[in-house]
Structures are given as C-alpha cells and as structure tokens.
Amino acid sequence: MSTSPSRSRRRAALLALAAALTVAAPIAEARPGGGGSMGSRGSRTYTAPSATPTAPGGGMTMQRSQTAPSLGMNSPGMANPGMQPSGRRFGGGFFAGLLGAGLLGALFGSSFFGGLGGLASMLGMLLQVGLLVVVVMLALRFFRRRNEPAAASYARTGPGGPNPGMGGPQGGATGGSAAAPMGAAPRQPQMRQVQIGPNDYQAFEKLLGDIQDAFSREDRVTLSNLTTPEMVGYFDEELQANAARGVVNRVSDVKLLQGDLAEAWGEDRTDFATVAMRYSLKDVTVERGSGRIVANGDPEAVELWTFQRQPGRAWVLSAIQQTR
C-alpha cells in the first residue's frame, strides 16, 4: 500500500512540530533558577519574604533547600516538641498511678494484703509502702545512670558547641544547627540587625548581571565564586539538563529596572539580605550545534534574591524565590 506525497509531508511536519515542542516545553523559563524557588535563607528559609513595592505579593515559600525544616521553626528559647527531657515527666503516669492505687487500696482495706484486718492489715500497709519506696529509689537510680552519658556529652559541647553553621567556603550551603544532645532544644542562632547601604545595593545589582552571564557561558568556576555551594549545585543541574537536550541558554542585556529591600538580618556571624528585583533581559535557548533559537524566555522578570555575607567576604547569592 503506497503513501501519498501529501500525507508524507503532513506526517513529517507533525513530527517536526512534536520535536520542537519537546525541546521547548521544559525550558520556557530558562534563566538561572527561572520559575522555581530554591536555596537557603538561614532560619527564614521556610518563611515567605515580606512584600515590597517591587513585589507587592511577597515571595513564594521555598521549594528546594538543603536547610533542615526544623531550623528556626520554634521561638527562641522554646524547646522542640518531641525532644523534651525524659526526666521531666518522672513522677507522673505509671509511677504516680501505682503509688496512688496502692495507698488508696490500703486505706480502704483492699491493699496487696487486703482481707487480713487489724494489725495484720496495718503491717501489710507498712510493708507495701516500704516496697514502693524501694521501687521508686531503684527507678530513680536507673534513670540517673541512663541520663549520665547525655549530660556528659552536653557538658563537653555546651549549648553553643561545635556548629557546622551554614557550611561551605562561602559559609552558606546547607544551613542547619549543631546536633543537640538527646533531650536538649536545638540551638537557636543569635539574631541581630543588619544595615544595608548604597555599596551593598551596587553589589546586588552587579551580582544579578554577573551570575546571569556566568550561567550563559556555563562557567561553573565563576558561579562558585558568586554563589553558595548549594546554589552552584542547582545551577549545575540546570546546565547538565540543557546539555542532555543539546541546547544552551543565552541570557544577555540584563538591566535592573527596579529593586528594593525586603528583609535584612544577621544570624551569628552571617549577614542576610533579601532583595526584590525587577529586571529586563534577553533570554533565548539555542541548539548547541547549529545555534538555532528553539525557545524565547520572558523579556522581564520579578524575583527575590537572597544574598549572604560573612566577615571579610563579599556578598554571594544564597537563594532565588519567585513572587506570588
């Protein structure tokens, strides 16, 4: 059975269209971090950034982060539910019920030795009380011995003991708090105010363009100098995905149109600043071999970028969040 030339041409056109859609679909927002919310903001990682004139709806909550969700989820000084010291509850529950039931039973003549009456009943009650005292003393000694290793570990590390902090050479990959001894509340970072000045805003604007340019050139070394190790990992995933599809994302002509500060704060030795930025750009995706354009991104974007800085070091990007 032969196929007509017109039918063959239609089938070829449909196959070409399907292939083009397959390439373009996953890269509609191809700029670095485009369309997603990823990274770490210290103890505010899972708190949406505040609204600003540039981003009136505020920011979306984080979708991908290496920071543990438990960090900063409790108020300072509040113990983490489920991590209460076991010794605080001693004297309630089983032991209180046992003691109460025994004494009340003796008073009403139905103790462990009930039915004897008179002096025998009195002696039975005294013996019962003595036995309960011995049981309680043994239980106390048992719990003290069980808690001694945890107490010794806590004494060695202290409430602010070894803390991996934000990790990485730039001090901000994973966040998280130091491992706390069993029964102790997670360590809360020391919060403080941070002042952001004109030089800081200039640094943020420069990072916006330099990071987009390094991503376009697939320059992982420069990206590692401008962002935290966590963000480098996310960008590397995007670059590998582009390479697997045989395409390259080209971002150019980045220009900041409007920007303002959403939040600025300090945790221990790390400064954080979340900035809402509206910027224009030329965002295209091209075939790696031919250079043919296969997708065009939006000419304008509004995102919230979080930067972090440690003493003696420059600001680096630690998170990108989309607006609501």
Give the number of other Cβ atoms within 10 Å of residue 29's Cβ: 15
Same domain, 68 and 90: no
Work out the average pLDDT over 233-260.
96
Least confident among 60-64, 154-158, 210-214, 286-290:
154-158
In tens, the pLDDT along 278-290 reads 999 999 999 999 9
Same domain, 216 and 256: yes
Work out the average pLDDT over 147-166.
43
Per-residue pLDDT band at 53 (split at 50, 70, 90): very high
In whole angstroms, how far apart are CA 202 and each of 23, 41, 194, 199, 207? 37, 21, 17, 5, 9
Q: How many domains does the chain contain in total? A: 2
- Torsion region of 290: left, alpha or beta (phi above 0 gives left; psi -120 to 50 gives alpha): alpha
Residue 180 inside a domain? The answer is: no
Same domain, 64 and 98: no
Same domain, 66 and 146: no
pLDDT of residue 5: 57
Least confident among 21-30, 44-53, 303-312:
21-30
HSE, side-chain direction, 13 A CA sphere, residue 39? 29
Residue 10 inside a domain? The answer is: no
Share of the chain above pLDDT 90, in %: 51
Least confident among 117-131, 238-252, 266-280, 310-324:
117-131
Least confident among 81-85, 175-179, 191-195, 289-293:
81-85
Residues 204, 211 contacting (CB under 8 angstroms):
no
CA distance 249 to 189: 39
Q: Is the pLDDT reported for residue 69 higher than 60?
A: yes
Beta-sheet strands, E only, within the chain? 38-39, 191-192, 247-267, 270-287, 293-296, 300-309, 316-322
Same domain, 195 and 54: yes
In tens, the pLDDT along 6-43 reads 555 555 555 444 444 444 444 445 678 767 999 999 99
Choose one of 110, 135, 157: the last residue of a domain: 157
Q: Is the pLDDT reported for residue 247 higher than 80?
A: yes
Containing structural domain, residue 203: 23-72+188-322
Q: What is the CATH number of the domain that holds 38?
A: 3.10.450.50
In whole angstroms, how far apart are CA 119 and each of 7, 108, 114, 116, 130? 111, 15, 12, 8, 16
Burial bucket for residue 40 (CB in 10 Å: 0-12, 13-18, 19+): buried
Same domain, 232 and 292: yes
> b/e for 68-93, b at 16 or more Cβ within 10 A?
eeebbeeeeeeeeeeeebeeeeeeee
pLDDT of residue 273: 98
Residue 90 inside a domain? The answer is: yes
Same domain, 212 and 317: yes
pLDDT of residue 167: 37
Residue 16 inside a domain? The answer is: no
Alpha helices in 186-289 (DSSP H): 198-216, 220-226, 229-245
Least confident among 69-78, 160-169, 175-184:
160-169
Same domain, 225 and 304: yes
Residues 208, 277 contacting (CB under 8 angstroms):
yes
Structure tokens at 145: 């011995």
Same domain, 45 and 143: no
Q: Is the pLDDT reported for residue 77 higher than 50?
A: no
> b/e for 250-272, b at 16 or more Cβ within 10 A?
bbeebebeebebbbbbbbbebbb
Same domain, 239 and 290: yes
In tens, the pLDDT along 87-136 reads 333 233 333 333 344 444 444 444 444 444 555 556 666 777 677 777 66
Give the number of other Cβ atoms within 10 Å of residue 300's Cβ: 12
157: Cβ–Cβ under 8 A, 6 or more apart, which residues?
178, 181
Q: Helix or strand or coil: residue 259?
A: strand
Residue 101 inside a domain? The answer is: yes
> Within the chain, what is the greatest distance between any pair of CA atoms?
116
In tens, the pLDDT along 214-234 reads 999 999 999 999 999 999 999
Least confident among 152-156, 213-217, 233-237:
152-156
Same domain, 94 and 66: no
Residue 78 inside a domain? The answer is: no
Residue 109 inside a domain? The answer is: yes
In single-letter form, the type of residue at position 221 comes to V
Residue 77 inside a domain? The answer is: no
Same domain, 202 and 135: no
